[in-house]
Amino acid sequence: MTSERPDRPGRRRLLAAGAAGALAVSGAVLVATPAAAAPSVNGCQNRVNASVDKLLTCVTPAGVTEHLANLQAIADGNDGNRASTTSGNTASVEYVRDTLEASGYEVSVTDFTYEEVSYAGSLARVTPSPATYALDTDYVPIDGTASAAVTAPVTGVDVSSGTSGCEAADFAGFATGSIALVQRGTCTFAIKVANAVAAGASGVVVYNNAPGLINPTLGGAVDVPVVFATPETGAGLLEPGTTATLDVQVVTETNVSQNITAELPGRSSDGVVVVGGHLDSVPEGPGINDNGSGSATILEVAQNLANTRLEHPVRFAFWGAEELGLLGSQAYVDSLSDDELARIGSYLNFDMLGSTNYANFVYDSDGSSFPAPEGYVSPESAAIEQTFEDFYDSRGIAYEDTEFDGRSDYQAFADAGIPSGGLFSGAEGIKTPEQAAAYGGTAGQPYDACYHQACDDLDNISQVALDQNSDAVAYAVLVTAQAGSGPGQGN
C-alpha cells in the first residue's frame, strides 16, 4: 500500500460466532469446461464444479502461505526486497507468470514506463548546537515534497496534543517563513502540511509518534520541502532557539516495470471482473503483508478457478510500481480503449489481507460512512460492498467500513467510472479498544507494526486474518462473476 491511511473505523457489524450460516449463491452453479488435467491445487485438481462452498474449501490459507513463502524466498535471494525495477521484482513477476501458465492460463506481461523519484539533500540543526541528520536513517522526504532548500527557525506546532497540525487553529501565532515541526497522528500528512503551508511555513518536518521511519505520501504536490523524521530527530529540532537547514532535492529518472494479467473466459464476453493487487514491495523489505498477502490470495483463487466457466470473465491482475504511486494500475487503465473499458463490469482490489493486529476493513463504496470522490459511489459499487458484507455476515465475522478515497489501485478504475470495491486489513493506523474487542489483538498498537519495514516478512502474517479474507476474496470473485455489475452489464 502506497500511502498513510488514518484507518478510522466506520459502520461496524459484530455478530456472535453462532450466527454463522451456510453460504449459498442462487444460480451460482459452476460448470467446468473440457480441458487437459491441471496440477492439483490443495487437492482440488484445479477444478471447481459444484458451488461456492467447493471454491472456499479449495482456497486455503495454507495455499496462500505457500505462495507467500515463495515470495519471501525471492526477497531473501534479492537484497531483501521485491521493489519495482529490482531483481526481486523481476523474479516475482516470473513466479506469478509461471504459476498461472502452469494452471493453464494465457498470461500477458506488459511493460510500462514511468518517472521514478529519488531524493538528495540534507537536514541539519544550525543552532543552538549544530547537528546533522542522515537521509534514510533519521529522516526521509515525503512524496509530493517540493525540490527546495530553506534555512529558518523551527516552530513546534501543538506537539503535545496528539492532533498536532490537524487544525488551522494550531498555527495561531505561527511566524511566517518558519519551518513547521508537527507530530504524526490522528489526521493525514496532507492535512498537516496544507495547514502549515496556509500559515506561511517555508518547510515542514513531520516526526514520528512511534519508533523508526515510514515512507508516506501527500497524495499531491506542495511548494515547500517536506520530510518525515524519527522521534529522536523531532526531539532534537524541538530544542528552544533551534534554527535548521532543510534541503530536499527531487531527482527523477525513467524506468520500466511490468503488469501481469491473465483472463478466465466467461460464458459472456462482457461484464469482466478485474481482480487486482500490487506485486511490488517497498525497498525496505520483502513486502509479505504489503502486498504479498493480496497477490498470493489472488493467485490462489486464480489457480482454483482455472478450467471453470463462470457467467462473466475474470481478469486476474498483478500491478507493478504501486508503491511508487499507483503507477501500474493507472498505466493499465490508460492503455485501454473506450470499448475495452466498457467491457469491464467491476474491479475488486486486495491490498494487505493478513495484518498481524488486523481489522476487517471493507471499502465504503456505498458512501454510507465516509465521503468519497465524485463518481466513486454508485448502486453497482454499493453492490460490491454488500457482497463482502454478506460473506462476513454469513460467517459471523466482524467487519467495518474504511475510506473509499482512491489510495490504492482501485483509484484508476473508479476514476474511469468502473464500479469498484475491496478489502484491507489495516496498515500503520492504530487499533482501537472497540476493535480489539471485536477482532482480538492489541489496542493502541498499529494494525501492521511492520508496515513498509524490513520486518514485513513471513512472520508478519495473521493466519486468522488470511483465512477469513482469502475466503472473502474467493466468495466475492465468484459471486460477482456470476452476477456481473457495472457498465459492461449495460446498467
Contact 403, 5 (CB under 8 A): yes
User: Is 101 designated active site?
Assistant: no
Contact 182, 202 (CB under 8 A): no
Which residue do the cell numbers 508503491 mark? 323
Do β-strands 107-127 and 243-264 pair in parallel, antiparallel, or remain unpaired?
antiparallel
Q: What is the dihedral of CA 177, 183, 188, 192, to 10 degrees?
A: -20
d(CA 491, CA 483): 12
Contact 380, 491 (CB under 8 A): yes
Contact 359, 177 (CB under 8 A): no
d(CA 385, CA 387): 5
According to DSSP, residue 178 is labeled: P
- Within the chain, how many helices (H) and strands (E) appear? 12, 17
**Measured between alpha carbons, how far is residue 137 from residues 118, 212, 343, 450 in Å?**
15, 8, 47, 16
d(CA 449, CA 208): 13
Which cell numbers in the block locate residue 309? 466457466
Query: Which residue in the list 4, 116, 300, 322 is annotated as catalytic?
Result: 322
Contact 59, 474 (CB under 8 A): yes
486: left (phi over 0), alpha (psi -120 to 50) or beta: left
d(CA 406, CA 422): 12
What residues are annotated to the active site?
Answer: 322
